[in-house]
Structure 1
Amino acid sequence: MTSTLNFALNHMAAPGLSPADFFALSKKLGISNVEIRNDLASNAILDGTPAGVIRDLAAETGISITSINALQRFNEWNATRAAEAIALADYARDVGAAALVLVPVNDGSGQGDGERQRNVRGALSALKTILGDRGVRGLVEPLGFEVCSLRSKREAAEAIADVGGLDVFRMVHDTFHHHLAGEPDIFPGMTGLVHISGVDDPVVGVADMRDPHRILVDAGDRLDNVGQIRALVAGGYSGLLSFEPFSPAVHRLADPQAALAQSIAFIGSRL
């Protein structure tokens, strides 16, 4: 099964690196696909670096940009969100990114039955045109946190189908959020990207797991990343597995290349 594994690197794996150093790290690991972010200070996109500069830098390094992560609160659709979506979709198109990740409201609002489904459909209907016109795919990422307005991949998949969005949208299967949500179904055919990270803290309860607990996948992983990946691949998924650790412990690593290589080797050895 290891021959089917295709890893990617989210800039959150080494957020202190400049785009040039981040692309170089990916190249050294033999990874040719990356996700760039719009939430890292002093870095593209927040520092105003033109998309063409990042596009050319990636091309020179032999790197493909698979996504921009992310349009936040996408299912709280209003004039502000529309403007953000257009700006990010333009940047994604101009930087050569294949997709834009779409993250739902995650503050306890918009959770009512009926309300949350209506909000997702309204946002996806608008985004279908914005993204479709620019040739950018939308990747809907349900979050497993109890306060999230879109926890269920089934609800996301139904909404995508209902708005006729199968040509534009797919979902992100995040192994951390899938574990937290407790939803058994995995929807490999609707999955456009997989985010991988592990939790090995033996004390924290599932309901209390947060982004700072998310490390690189290793033998102590409590999220069953290996099992989730195995099920996705068995279901026909052949896309990218993108490392997205949020733990400050990972971000402080003196040698992220070695740590990432170890995680790649561990996952490969178990599949």
Structure 2
Amino acid sequence: MSGTINFALNHMTTPRMTSRELIDLAARLGCIGVELRNDLASKGLTTREFFDGETPSAIGEYARGKGVRLLGLSEVYGFNRWSGTIKDKVELLIAQAKDAGAESISLIPSNDGAVESDEKRLSDLRGALAIILPMLDEADLIALVEPLGFTTSSLRRKREAIDAIEAVRGKDRFRLVHDTFHHHIAGETEFFPEWTGIVHISGVVDPSLRPEQMQDNHRILVNEADRLRNVEQIRALNAMGYMGAYSYEPFAASVHADPNIEASLQSSMKFLETAT
């Protein structure tokens, strides 16, 4: 299906599918890869374990047999609030990524609305990155840092993430997630294709919502009524030289319950390829 755009599927697109079913779907759609998530059960979207109770290596082998890359494993949430618990989660996700042959892990900042000074917030970010960096070096792995555009997020903008990564000399091990939803609601205008490890795409169509009112449950597949300017964002990234994956990540319950999700994805992909 995919031609000019390297499409991929985040497991959030179809959380009711097993990892193998997601990989099969990606292969049928011509996607270059998938992202698997360890938080679907905690979000109440499945009762299955991570990797569906299989070993990471078995799922990785299955993906490779289908010609589908394991682009990443998600996630360690709140990584910038460093603790022994976060350390254990980072170490576990790195080990699982290595076993599966995944290309990256995802690091998600805290979105708890805590009131703190920029000095402390950014110092904590740098501190966490500095501790994670040697772990990535040892594993020869990339970590994707994803700024969240919510007003309650402890890391909203990509520029701050880049500055922190450069401060700890981590440019060889850290990349960014450019999420078209978070880019829009944060009011960002800067693009960093050379720092971008993956792009997450989803759409919001509700005309009554202001950007600061948009939440994950509003995120559907991208279509002609999209308000996030996905088409313009993709055009800009492509024009600046980005050549990586555009991975679908809709959170809306209507998408998760779509009985014709494969056809719906085909339609969205066709729209984006034609429009960009």
Query: Is the shorter-chain TM-score for this pair beyond 0.5, marking a shared fold?
Result: yes
CA distance 1:153–1:8, shift in 2 (3 Å)? same
Q: Which residue of 2 aligns with 1:32?
A: 32
Report the alpha carbon displacement of residue 219 of structure 1 after superposing the two structures with TM. Answer: 0.3
Q: Residue 124 of structure 1 corresponds to which residue in structure 2?
A: 129
Q: Aligned AA for 1:167?
A: D
Q: 1:186 aligns with which of 179, 182, 191?
A: 191
Could you tell me how far 1:3 is from its partner in structure 2?
5.5
Partner of 2:44: none
TM-score (norm 2): 0.94
**Aligned equivalent of 2:98:** 93
Distance 1:4 1:128 in 2: 34
**Deviation, structure 1 residue 46:** 6.8
Match of 1:19 in 2: 19
Map 1:196-207 onto structure 2 (within 5 A). Answer: 196-207=201-212
Q: Does 1:259 align with 2:264?
A: yes
- Match in the other structure for 1:61: 66
1 CA distance for matches of 2:61 and 2:51? Answer: 18
The residue number in structure 2 matching 1:5 is: 5
Extract unaligned runs of 5+ from structure 1: none
Q: Percent of counterpart pairs with the same letter?
A: 44
The aligned amino acid for 1:145 is F
Aligned counterpart for 1:154 among listed residues 159, 163, 175: 159
Distance 1:231 1:112 in 2: 33
Greater shift after overlay, 240-249 or 41-50? 41-50
- Displacement of 1:218 after TM fit? 0.3
Counterpart code for 1:124: L
CA contact under 8 A between 1:110 and 1:149: conserved in structure 2? no
Deviations 1:49-71 (A, max 9, x none): 32122112212322210001111
The alpha-carbon distance between structure 1 residues 205 and 109, as it changes in their structure 2 partners (threshold 3 A), is same
Contact kept, 8 Å, 2:177 with 2:197, in 1: the verdict is yes
Q: 2:248 aligns with which of 243, 246, 265?
A: 243
Kept in 2: contact 1:73–1:105 (CA 8 A): yes
Matching residue's letter, 2:55: P
State the Cα distance separating 1:80 from its structure 2 match. Answer: 0.7
- State the Cα RMSD in Å: 1.4
Q: CA–CA distance in 1 between the matches of 2:31 and 2:270?
A: 13
Higher mean C-alpha deviation, range 251-260 or range 43-52: 43-52
Q: What secondary structure does 2:25 align onto? A: helix
- Stretch deviating more after TM superposition (14-23 or 104-113): 104-113
Contact 1:131 1:137 survives alignment (8 Å): yes
Cα displacement string for residues 212-266 of structure 1 (whole angstroms, at most 9, x for unaligned residues):
1000000000000010111111111111000000000000100111000001000
Distance 1:39 1:218 in 2: 27
* CA 52–46 in structure 1, closer or farther in 2 if over 3 Å, else same: closer
- For 2:129 and 2:238, locate their aligned partners in 1 and report how far apart those are by CA, in whole Å: 27
3-state DSSP of counterpart to 2:262 = helix
SS state at 1:114 partner: helix
Quote the offset at 1:44 in angstroms: 4.7
Find the counterpart in structure 1 of residue 216 from structure 2.
211
Cα pair 1:86 1:130 within 8 Å, conserved:
yes
Note the C-alpha offset of 1:184: 1.3
Secondary structure of residue in 1 paired with 2:105: strand
Cα 1:250–1:74, aligned 2, differ >3 Å: closer, same or farther? same
Range with greater deviation from structure 2 (175-184 or 108-117): 108-117
1:73-112, aligned counterparts within 5 Å? 73-109=78-114, 111-112=116-117
1:208 Cα deviation from its structure 2 partner = 1.0
Contact 1:128/1:168 (<8 A) preserved: yes
Q: Distance in 2 between matches of 1:72 and 1:26?
A: 26
5+ long unaligned stretches in structure 2: 42-46
Q: Which amino acid aligns with 1:61?
A: K
